[in-house]
Chain A
Amino acid sequence: MIRELRELIAASRTANISAPNSDIQARTYGGEEQRLDQVPQLVEKAKRGDRDAFAELYRLHHARIFRMARLHLGELGDGAEDVVAETFLRAWAALPRYRNTGAPFVAWLFGIARHVVLDEVARGRRVMPSEELPERTGAWTVDDRLTLAQAMDRLPAAQRQVVELKYLAGMRNEEVASALGKSKGAINAMQWRALGMLREILEER
């Protein structure tokens, strides 16, 4: 079995089968891996009131929270940036009560950001999607984002968390598995089931 697997891997390398995400992942994580390793230490310092450590946490997670906010608010203006600011303000206030349960810090931030987004939506900051179907150009339009955000809200919590950590927070499946205390195989399965459900939800619309 192992021999067959090795032969298969060797054959795929010889045939130069493209790994669809290898380049993307390299670009996404290459420069940040070392800094992300420092997150637990930065969190401990920030809990003691260290603003420099909190600033570093902000820089490391800004893009992730911004994308999540933009996905839900469908706005490219200050709305998403306001969500990021409010998320980190609440995080600063709540840090003394933060307990490392093994889940990544970004998952805790996503939890805060979700509440902030709900508050923003309740205040009418969200742009409603248009009735017309957008053109499938490949790029994400505002309507696309809002539709996807609504679809993600209908996912089971565990699957939504996997999608957020993998696609919005930019974590690899191994990292998501480690962070959530599950096997890589389980995360793979949850990822593709979540995508299957998203596809069905999006087709209903």
Chain B
Amino acid sequence: MKRRLEEDLERWEAGLAPLAELEERHPGSDVHDLTELHHRLTALGLEATPDPESGWQRLIARLPEPEPGTILVGRTKPRHRRVLTPRRVAALGLAAALTLTGGLAAADVLPDPAQDAVANVAGHLGLDFPHSSDVPDQTSHGEEVSNVARSTPEEGCEKGQAISEVASSFAQDHRKNDPEPIPCEKAKAAGAHSHQGGTGGSEGVGPDAGAAHASDSGLNHRGSHGRPG
């Protein structure tokens, strides 16, 4: 069907154009046949129908009761799979970074500027994270002990005592309740006595006694267990 004819029939149906005008513009039987079919179909939709009440009265007796427990409404919300959108990926990455940074800061293994920054932020949030200045530089202290152990000219008990003094210099608090170190002279005397008694030394006597004592100071020094060369 031509578009022009469709438009004119539309105008005719809306009452904007008389039938004669359409028949004049579209010679032939198209307009007549189509408008007649339209009228007949419209009349078909207006035909009388039986009273619905009688049909309903017959129908209602046949309607089954809804089954008890049956959920009569459909699924209210469609299920959606969680999709990793770029925004979600960014949020997850940020959360992971914050968790990792917080863990490292709590363990006090971040570089000093980062440690201080995280400690400051955490302080605002009510969390107690250590600042870089709150703990001694354990690495340099361990190296210092190691250097003393390697370079000291002393031998035996004196060497051990020198190493012990350096090693314990950062552990005053931990040594408050420790017994006083046994002076070398006293240790020698005790060692001689024990040799005489045949019981064997057990008080840290010998070349490694000082180093061993240093390792008992309560600090876990890296490099502090090196044997003196």
Contact = CB atoms under 8 A, between A and B. Distances in A.
The answer on A and B forming one complex is yes
Interface of A: 8-9, 12, 15, 17-22, 24, 27-28, 47-49, 51, 54-55, 58-59, 62-63, 66-67, 70-71, 81, 84-85, 88-89, 92-93, 95-99, 138-140, 145, 148, 163, 167-170, 185, 188-189, 192-193, 195-196, 198-199
Contact of A193 (B1, B15, B74): B1
Given A9-B16, A48-B72, A192-B34, 9 more contacts: A20-B35, A21-B13, A24-B42, A47-B72, A55-B56, A62-B56, A96-B72, A138-B43, A196-B1
A154 B36 CA distance: 20
Given A81-B50, A193-B1, A195-B38, A55 B60 contact: yes
Contacts of A148: 44
Nearest to B50: A81
B83 interface: no
A21 B44 contact: no
19 contacts: A12-B15, A17-B15, A17-B17, A19-B14, A28-B45, A59-B53, A62-B55, A63-B49, A63-B52, A66-B49, A85-B62, A96-B71, A96-B72, A96-B73, A96-B74, A97-B74, A192-B1, A196-B30, A196-B34
Interface in B4-49: 5-6, 9-10, 12-18, 30, 33-35, 37-47, 49
B40 A140 contact: yes
A27 B72 contact: no
B66 A49 contact: yes
B32 to A, nearest CB: 11
Interface residues of B, number: 46
Contact of B6 (A8, A140, A167, A188): A188
Contacts of A96: 70-74
Contacts of A88: 59
B55 A167 contact: no
A189 B6 CA distance: 6
A198 B74 CA distance: 39
Contact of A95 (B9, B12, B41, B72): B72
A19 to B, nearest CB: 3
B49 A67 contact: yes
B15 A19 contact: yes
A164 B41 CA distance: 10
Nearest to B70: A96
Given A85-B62, A192-B1, A198 B44 contact: no
A22 B73 contact: no
B137 to A, nearest CB: 71
Contacts of A20: 12-13, 15, 35, 38-39
B6 A192 contact: yes
Contacts of B63: 51, 54, 89, 92
